[in-house]
Amino acid sequence: MSALGVVKTCRDEIPKGPTGGMWRRALYDLIDHPGKYASSIFHKSKEGFTTVYDGFPKSTVHLLVLPDRTLKGPQQLTKDGEFGIPFLRRLHGYCDWLVNELQKQEHIGKLGFKCGIHAVPSLEPFHVHIISGDMKSDRIKHKKHWNSFTTPFFVELNEVESILQIEGSLRSILARESHLKDDLVCNICGENFGRFLKFKEHRVSCRKTKSSAAGQVAVSQNEIELPQTKRQRLC
């Protein structure tokens, strides 16, 4: 893998990437015209994955991983075939490596990360979120922004593989869209809130906040057995 540059955080000026046209398909432009949006690209691997900045980060660090072989969305993932479990494991391995390298960068502290997909994504093509667990960002404007990453609507990659192994497809996760309407729950102290404004005020003053975000959405340590070997999953 090629070395990473210094990652930008939500406190920096994050490139917005493609705008205008059909916003749902904006990520296609990043893949089709990488030179035009070079400032939005964080890393491009020889393994066939491109990592870009989320234009509206919902946490201190928020990246998107796009396979160079584009597929429309999670529903194209299967147990077998071109976008089967072997493909998912290669993608997961790249995300593991990325997280490991990010955690070496001193300016972001000891942030925990999680890697996963939205059950019903708002953007095409298929992409994976790599997001730090602190969820500190002024881009969180409403309930849906918060619940997109703190409820079962966010499906971590190890769970994606488990579902594919058992069910053969990801059709069952479509029902998780209802979690966007879940109550607002602080990811640090667990307090439940009814109104978003009250929740935002609490997030600023929560006395249990830890600058490292350790323990709130810590890096997963699940182990997934791969052919002929076992490797530790970072996220």
User: In the predicted model, what is the mean pLDDT of residues 116-135?
Assistant: 97
What contacts 229, CB < 8 A, 6 or more positions away? none
The lowest-confidence range among 18-22, 112-116, 173-177 is: 18-22
Characterize the bridge pairing of strands 113-118 and 49-53: unpaired
54 to each of 6, 17, 130, 187, 215, how far by Cα in Å?
Answer: 15, 8, 10, 21, 24
Query: What pLDDT does 212 receive?
Result: 38
- The CATH code of domain 23-178+212-221 reads 3.30.428.10
Tell whether the model's pLDDT for residue 61 goes beyond 80. yes
User: In the predicted model, what is the mean pLDDT of residues 172-192?
Assistant: 95
Return the domain boundaries, the chain: 23-178+212-221
Q: Does 224 or 182 have the greater pLDDT score?
A: 182
* Total-model pTM: 0.86
State the pLDDT confidence band at 6, using cuts at 50, 70 and 90. very high
In 55-160, beta strands by DSSP E: 62-67, 113-118, 128-132, 154-156
Query: What pLDDT does 92 receive?
Result: 98
Residue 84 has, within 13 A of its CA and on its CB side, a CA count of 9
CA 114 to chain centre: 7
Residue type, 63: L
| Angle between helical axes of 85-102 and 157-167 (0-180°, round to 10) | 170
Q: Encoding tokens for residue 77?
A: 């993932």
Label each residue of 52-77 as H, E or C.
Answer: EECCCCCCCCEEEEEECCCCCCHHHC
Tell whether the model's pLDDT for residue 217 goes beyond 50. no
Query: What pLDDT does 204 receive?
Result: 82
Characterize the bridge pairing of strands 41-44 and 113-118: unpaired
Query: What pLDDT does 21 receive?
Result: 57
Tell whether the model's pLDDT for residue 8 goes beyond 80. yes
Tell whether the model's pLDDT for residue 78 goes beyond 60. yes
Characterize the bridge pairing of strands 192-193 and 184-185: antiparallel
Average pLDDT, the chain: 86
Residue type, 206: C
Contact 51, 63 (CB under 8 A): yes
